[in-house]
Structure 1
Amino acid sequence: MTGELVELAKRRGFFFQSSEAYGGVSGFYVYGPQGAALKRNIEDSWRDRFQVQEGHREIEAPTVMPEPVFEASGHLDTFDDMLVECPECGESHRADHLIEDNTDIEDAEAMPLSEVGDLIAEYDLHCPSCETPLAGEPVEDFNLMFETDIGPGSGHPGYLRPETAQGIFVEFPRLKEYARNQLPFGITQIGTAYRNEISPRKSIIRVREFTQAELEHFIDPETDEPPLHRVEDVEVTLYSAVEQNDDDGDYLRTTIGEAVEEGIIASDWVAYYLGVGQEWYERIGVDMDRFRFRQHLAGERAHYASDCWDAEAEIDGDWIEITGYAYRSDYDLSKHDKYSDEDFTIFRQYDEPKVVERATVDPDMSYLGPEFGGAAADIAEALQTLAERDRTAFDGDVVTVEADGDTYAIPVEKTGFSVEEVKESGEHIVPHVVEPSIGIGRVLYTVLDHAYDTDEIEGETRTRLSLDPEIAPTTVGVFPLMDKDGMGETARDIAAELRSHGLDVVYDDSGNIGRRYRRQDEVGTPFCVTVDYEGLEDDTVTLRERDSTEQVRVAVDDLPNLIADLRSGERAFSEL
């Protein structure tokens, strides 16, 4: 299937490799007229379900961010893939993919580097480019971020964002003001992300530039609960970590409610969004017989995720991740709170004021200053932090703290340590985050693959894309039976009227009517309107449905509302 679909995508303008006039660049693709329209419709559908219906808001952040952002987020240290380089041709390959492609091992990504290197030797794996043996070659971490300089010179290093999420997290101090400092609230973003993949492959499945649709839902983990009742009866196919580790493991076909009750999905929030996602994938045309939710194994979870499930679709026998559902806890906001000068907390109001014990220090700066010089202020701050975290550290005569990498011993009597009772009306907490992160390009490819079909019409083989009308690049094709006797003018007027109602329309008078139908079937256009001699007399047209090829006669005046209802699902063609 892959070859046929990629050929159709290129020929009909869905997607194709960029810069082909200069030999092409691996991992970068252009979405043509059909693909750009399909991509936009998928994004709009995602906005409707994950943003509008959930009451969330959208932002658009820059794609380049300064280095300190990624120091805080952990991407500089942990956003790596496994690289092995061929000693003969110099081609770099992703080591875990070599193992997964050439053995029965499915989760090499979760293995340590040394074990991956041993498996390359054990299975005698060769370079895919020149067949040179790779046994004994070092397997190393390779950071996937694209580095750049902000402004002239190299004094302000930055990176192209590897995910859209950090653009939301960094702006949390301002975004919480727009939410009136009230949890829960959600922020969405659809935009471009960049990963310098070691070996891009499988067309637009693994690329270096791609579009993400991400939702960051900020919650109070102690008080906020999702509306599980909305999705508790949604049926899902789960492949849990327990089942993956069991030699006889199998899929669990259950409901969201049962999966939560039985502890299969630990987070109620993740479970809720799995249910929302399941309904959305089905809505846009993903084949539910070729779809599952797979839980990440411990070794493959991202550095920020305490639990993660992937929505996966089957394509040509391989399971492709199309969405990650992660419980990021307070990892991101805590990191940015620590590394930046802003406050990434929310004030949680108590129902009633509480009397609590609070440890404080009032350091004797007349001692710290002369004794420790420029480090005195940092020492005072470290003392306060230690008092809040571990008051028992002040039980002896001397307390030890670290400041700027150095260790200092301070007499307790000079710290002004005390424990006082104070009345508090609330406390500052760092919100937790639930994140559905969708790869739009992968969803687009999945929808195309699952919609691709062939059948026979009037003795000829027909290729069609059975795309849902909501996301099809073109909603309706308008044709004159022949461009003569006024049929062409009438068809062009109808096309213009339909466009004025916001419908995506293509006008075509080239070739015989059967060929025009086939062209539209191949790009997934769900409906075609034909103007004929009879219609010139009674102001009607024939309306044809793509999959069944059935036709009905419809009044021209009824067309705009009827096609809009068919596109939205308000009416079914079989009811006409």
Structure 2
Amino acid sequence: MYKCGCGVKRFLGLSGRFQAVAPKNSKSEVLLGEAKRRELETLRRQRRFELWTLEGQNLIMQKLGHIQENIRKQANSIKKMKQDENPYVKDEISVLKKMKKELEELEKQILLAMVDDPFDSVAFSQTVKNRFIYAQSGEIYGGGAGLYDFGPLGSKLKNNVIREWKNVFVDGRPDVFEVDTTIMTPERVLQGSGHTEKFADLMVKEMSSGEFFRTDQLLSSQIEKEKQSSKYSAQELENDLLLVDSSDHSIIQSLLRKYFGEKNFSPPTNFKLMFSCKLGPDESGENIGFLRPETSQGVFSVFQRLLQHNNSKLPFSVAQVGTSFRNEIKASGGLLRCREFQMMELQHFHDPQAGMAQLSSRQRDQVLPVLSREAQISGGSIQAMSVKNILLSKMVSSPILVSYLVKTFDFLMKLGIDQSKIRFRQQLDHELAHYAKDCWDLEIMTSQGWVECGGLADRGSYDLKKHADASGANLMAERQLASPKQVKMYGIKIKSPKKFKKTPKVLSSVKNLNQTQIAKISESLSLSGSIEIEGVELKKSELVIKEEIKNVQVESFFPEVIEPSFGLGRILLALLEHSFQQREVDGRKFFTFPPSLLSNSVARLICEELSSLSVDYRVDTGGKTIGRKYSLNDEIGVPYGIVIDFDTFRYSPATVSIRDRDTLSQLRVNVKDAASFINQLSTQEITFAMAEEKYLFQEEFLDSPDQFELRENFKRATNGVKYSERDVGKLLASLADVAVQLGKPELLMHIHSFKREMN
């Protein structure tokens, strides 16, 4: 089993002990600054989390207004009491002071929650670029818009995000199958799905500059700017915002005239978002393919084989991680809008009439931040709702979709995404894709506002029906009936198959027709006398269609699909931003990734044992100063560092120093224990704070490095650490050596007596 442990570094090439390389600020100042930063960060997250836990900002603002009104009434009452020379006025004044203090505390809470973390976008961009987490492709030639290369750190981080996704959605589930379908998709597949017709964005051209714009982005940006003026009412602006995604060209043109006046734009046109290409030396131009805009169509086109693989049983799920392409009109915003990107998608095929597995009590009690369609229309805000209440409200089209909302939230928590910056927003009716019955966008707050990082859609049976109609293939499943029923069954065959030897596709298409398709053909033949199959006209006299009434135990149906889909690049960007920190004391920049997401760098002396534990690693033997190495590794989020110094080889047993990024604490650990210690930290079996009770601090070690084992054993005994019999035996042997050195025969007798009692 692959484990990605916490990152550690080998620091060699030192001149003397690493303590001699002093930072500009003292260690105590840095520690105090780091503690303050962590305290403020924790408080910010807690306050933001409380906002949606208390059902959003509106509730707090209502409470604020209520207190302000009570203060006003109390002040008027005191004023009247003073005029009347009421002797109890002092008591009422003390009540007023308490109310004002309550108001002040609430205002602080709102300020902390609404004023976001101080985020230095310039420092963030420089760090990402300097450490080559990712960079624009073809950078030495000026770069390509919407195309990005990932460096060693970015690739490792991306792969580990994929691993966490598989851990939540795929691993340990025998009904989930992984596939890898082709990137290049034949035109007929996307014609069948409806993408060639509908997969487009409305675009306009600004005639004076020649620049192209997506109409929804152009209008949304302008309407947001208008909110700062008083030209339009707030309600009017909100109503217009709901129209910017309209596909009606006349509505878009009227909005452009309203908000841009005389500015000259071309009429809106549909811009196709798929990259097309020719497949092979095709002079006719008919053999066309597309780079896939999503991974799911490859899954739908092989549904028959997947159903057979699962012994024709439902439900089952299909998972796929792969590259998709969209020819964006304006590829800007870094990883937010790319022309090539990776998707993590899962299609859950199920029978809509069958029940689903019950959620656990933990899942039913899980609280999720949701922004429903009704809340958006009425001007409401995020609500904190338990899964139990979400199911009761029936705001989500399917309980299965709700279960995937829970899995998605768990996945984001494992990545270390700030839970106070997550929401599930239900798409409005006009936003829904042509295939969706319901869809909830996973949105994460970044420096660029709320960003859609995924979508959880109820696709119904739209895709399978479309592909069945377009291809003639049978993409239906069967369910057992409680009791037999009589149905009209059709059979079809060609009278003279030899006549169609040169067109074998006609024979295979007729053979694969399902009952619904045969019924339609029978109806068409009765009206027109002929039909067309695979471009060949067949007359009624060339076909034999039989109808009979049969008792059946099963019925055919199109399975429905729930699809959680995630953009890897966008989630990675949110993770990077939420993890980026900068210490005010020493100005160091670093990422606070969870240990499970990081690459590892370890010393040669413990490489072999780490390999046996399946912990990934690399060795750093660069000649930089130790302080510089600390800074560089903090910058990329490495939480722990193993330091080999001269004391490692000077004293026995050999020891190394293990440094914690967040607290700057260093523990001295036996080389033999270092690999297992790192493995325990990476798998979160222990925390660094727990380890501080077991191991010596670096400062304690330096006081008497030649008595490492004795002092370590004494510390463990003092902190009540449980020992094995072997550990106790070693401790007693060490104490016996000390008794001999000190010339204390009485102590030696007590030790031997204790050993006899143990045996």
Change (3 A) 1:134 1:196: farther
Task: State yes or no: 1:151 paired with 2:287.
Answer: no
Aligned partner of residue 507 in structure 1, secondary structure: coil
Change (3 A) 1:383 1:14: closer
- Equivalent residue for 2:565? 437
Task: State yes or no: 1:216 paired with 2:347.
Answer: yes
Distance 2:294 2:253 in 1: 29
- Equivalent residue for 2:733? none
Q: Which has the bigger relative contact order, CA under 8 A and spacing at least 6?
A: 2
Asked whether the 8 Å contact 2:279–2:289 carries over to 1, the reply is yes
Asked whether the 8 Å contact 1:216–1:435 carries over to 2, the reply is yes
Asked whether the 8 Å contact 1:362–1:417 carries over to 2, the reply is yes
Letter in structure 1 aligned against 2:673:
D
**Unaligned stretches of 5+ residues in structure 2:** 1-119, 225-237, 497-506, 534-538, 692-759
- Equivalent residue for 2:178? 58
Distance 1:323 1:552 in 2: 41
Asked whether the 8 Å contact 1:147–1:158 carries over to 2, the reply is yes
Identify which of 8, 11, 14 aligns with 2:130: 11
TM-score, length of structure 2 as denominator length: 0.65
- Equivalent residue for 1:241? 373
- Which has the larger displacement, 559-568 or 29-38? 559-568
Aligned counterparts, 1:261-280, within 5 A? 261-280=392-411
Letter in structure 1 aligned against 2:460:
S
Task: State yes or no: 1:467 paired with 2:605.
Answer: no
Identify which of 490, 501, 504 aligns with 2:617: 504
Task: State yes or no: 1:339 paired with 2:470.
Answer: yes
**Unaligned stretches of 5+ residues in structure 1:** 126-132, 367-376, 479-490
- Equivalent residue for 1:358? 488
- Equivalent residue for 1:197? 328
Aligned partner of residue 270 in structure 2, secondary structure: strand
Aligned partner of residue 82 in structure 1, secondary structure: strand
Asked whether the 8 Å contact 2:473–2:513 carries over to 1, the reply is no
Change (3 A) 1:221 1:531: same
Change (3 A) 1:182 1:362: closer
Aligned partner of residue 332 in structure 2, secondary structure: coil
- Equivalent residue for 2:140? 21
Greater helix share, 1 or 2? Answer: 2
Distance 1:416 1:278 in 2: 53
CA deviation vs aligned residue, 1:218-245 (integer Å, no higher than 9, x gap): 1111114144236212211001111111
- Which has the larger displacement, 313-322 or 268-277? 313-322
Asked whether the 8 Å contact 1:110–1:298 carries over to 2, the reply is no
Distance 1:362 1:208 in 2: 47
Change (3 A) 1:508 1:97: farther
Letter in structure 2 aligned against 1:426:
V
- Equivalent residue for 1:120? 256
Asked whether the 8 Å contact 1:72–1:335 carries over to 2, the reply is yes
Letter in structure 1 aligned against 2:248:
P
Aligned counterparts, 1:94-173, within 5 A? 94-104=214-224, 106-107=241-242, 108-110=244-246, 112-124=248-260, 134-153=263-282, 154-173=285-304
Aligned partner of residue 40 in structure 1, secondary structure: helix
Asked whether the 8 Å contact 2:454–2:565 carries over to 1, the reply is yes
Change (3 A) 1:574 1:113: farther
Letter in structure 1 aligned against 2:368:
V
Aligned counterparts, 1:181-330, within 5 A? 181-229=312-360, 231-247=363-379, 249-330=380-461
- Equivalent residue for 2:648? 535
Identify which of 441, 446, 461 aligns with 2:574: 446
Change (3 A) 1:355 1:10: same
Distance 1:402 1:322 in 2: 50
Letter in structure 1 aligned against 2:597:
I
Q: What is the number of residues matched between the two proteins? A: 534
Identify which of 510, 522, 530 aligns with 2:635: 522
- Equivalent residue for 1:553? 668
- Equivalent residue for 2:683? 568
Distance 2:579 2:518 in 1: 62
Greater strand share, 1 or 2? Answer: 1
- Equivalent residue for 1:373? none
Q: Percent identity, aligned pairs only? A: 31
Larger Rg: 2
CA deviation vs aligned residue, 1:507-562 (integer Å, no higher than 9, x gap): 24432212111101111112111112333322221111222222222222222222
Distance 1:383 1:38 in 2: 47
- Equivalent residue for 1:30? 149
- Equivalent residue for 1:487? none
Distance 2:195 2:385 in 1: 36
Letter in structure 1 aligned against 2:256:
I
Distance 1:440 1:361 in 2: 48
Aligned partner of residue 595 in structure 2, secondary structure: coil
Shift of 1:46: 0.7
Letter in structure 2 aligned against 1:96:
D
Aligned counterparts, 1:473-484, within 5 A? 474-475=599-600, 477-478=601-602
TM-score, length of structure 1 as denominator length: 0.85
Aligned partner of residue 460 in structure 1, secondary structure: coil
CA RMSD of superposed structures (Å): 3.3
Asked whether the 8 Å contact 2:443–2:450 carries over to 1, the reply is yes
Shift of 1:466: 0.5
Shift of 1:400: 7.3
Change (3 A) 1:335 1:387: closer
Asked whether the 8 Å contact 1:117–1:135 carries over to 2, the reply is no
Task: State yes or no: 1:46 paired with 2:165.
Answer: yes
Distance 1:215 1:6 in 2: 32
